[in-house]
Amino acid sequence: MSTPSRRVTARSVLVVACVGLMAFGPALALAGPRPAMLGWQMYSAQPGSPIIEIVTVDGGSRLLSLSDLVPRWRPEIDYAARVPQQLCASDPGIARVEMRRDTPRMDVRVTCER
């Protein structure tokens, strides 16, 4: 049979271990790229807005910001899935659309089919 002091010690070790694990996981995420899954900054850090480069059929190019196309940019929406195709469909003079972002990394290149 265990003594009361051993039970208290075992409970104390268990509590300290649980609290340590709850703090250790998110603390590791602080050093990684943001926003990090399970990190304290998961909802506070927003990914950068992508830069859109439009290459025309005559070889010229121009840069667009996502705010030129979308009135209210929302970081949880995957614009790379729709914006290049929509730009290709909207203007027959566009040959290629490229979207780039640094954090988190995104490089999308879509060649417009005519």
Domain ranges of the chain: 1-45, 51-111
pLDDT at 36: 59
pLDDT at 39: 57
* Ordered mean pLDDT values, 10 residues apiece, the chain (114 residues): 75 93 79 63 66 94 89 80 92 94 86 87
Residue 50 carries which DSSP code? P
* 11 vs 3: CA distance, rounded Å: 13
pLDDT at 30: 72
* 68 vs 58: CA distance, rounded Å: 23
pLDDT at 69: 87
pTM over 0.75: no
pLDDT at 95: 96
